Amino acid sequence: MEVIKYKNDVSFLQKMSGGKFTRIKNVQFATQFEVGEAQKFINNAISKKERNSWEVYDLDSAKKDIITSKDIEQLERSKIKKGISLNALYEIAEETLKGYNFIDIDWETIVVEPKQQSTFKSKLSTYLTELKGMLVKVQGALTDINHYIETGKFSASTGYKLCNLQQQKLLLRRKIKNEITIIEIALRDFFPKNNTRFILRCIESQKTRKYEPRTLRELFETEGDN
């Protein structure tokens, strides 16, 4: 399959009703053409003035940006089940995590000497501010997705891709919120005695957290529950 890419930036063509088209950033929602049909569209539907600004783009060269059969298999294996750990779904958001800088702190073994505690505390405070900025960013992305779903009309294929994209952003938001909770506890309890008891307890509870449905309980039921 092929898509049509705008040469001057990283955007792709999406066909609209009435023969019109628009540019979008996410290749997942670009109109897909059979091999050879994309160039025909460029030649017949795009004006001569704009034609040279577009090129045929092979989806095989964008495997990191599109939904693959492996992604679908992961989603099938990771369908939300009653009582499933949220952390079990984080692997789906692996690509989404790129561009978000998380600090890996081994809270089980860390010991900060008294002279270094002030510096370490300052770094944690800065990291907390960065995490809150990341949370605002992902919340904005989720708002965009929700409004697109609310007002848009799309095929089953695009609907699936939207659902997958929304899931990735939701999992990223959960990871950020979990990290914020840990850092806030660390700033409150870790100093001055390197107390990690509450931090480790929080991390463990995050691994086993279960969601209790508020209304649509049937969504979380699996075969054999009834």
**Residue in the block written with tokens 């750990």:** 85
- Whole-number pLDDT of residue 92: 39
Cα–Cα distance measured from residue 46 to residue 55, given in angstroms and rounded to the nearest whole number: 11
What pLDDT, on a 0 to 100 scale, did the predictor assign at position 28?
A: 65
pLDDT by position in tens, the chain (length 226)? 888 888 876 678 888 766 678 887 767 667 888 888 999 999 998 888 888 889 888 876 554 444 444 444 444 444 433 333 334 334 434 445 556 778 888 898 888 888 899 999 999 999 999 999 989 988 988 888 888 888 877 788 778 888 888 888 898 899 899 999 999 999 999 999 999 999 999 999 988 888 888 898 888 776 444 4
Q: How many CB atoms lie within 10 A of CB 172?
A: 22
Rounded to whole angstroms, the Cα distance separating 142 from 149 reads 11
Helix (H, G, I), strand (E, B) or coil at 146: helix
- Quick one: 117 exposed, middle or buried, by C-beta within 10 A (0-12, 13-18, 19+)? middle
Question: How much is the pLDDT for 18?
Answer: 67
The pLDDT value recorded for residue 179 is 93
Give the pLDDT confidence score for residue 33 in this predicted structure.
Answer: 87
Which pLDDT score, from 0 to 100, does residue 132 have? 92
The pLDDT value given to residue 211: 81
6 in Cβ contact with 54 (< 8 Å) = yes
Cα–Cα distance measured from residue 15 to residue 224, given in angstroms and rounded to the nearest whole number: 44
* Whole-number Å distance between alpha carbons of 192 and 180: 20
Q: What is the pTM of this model?
A: 0.56
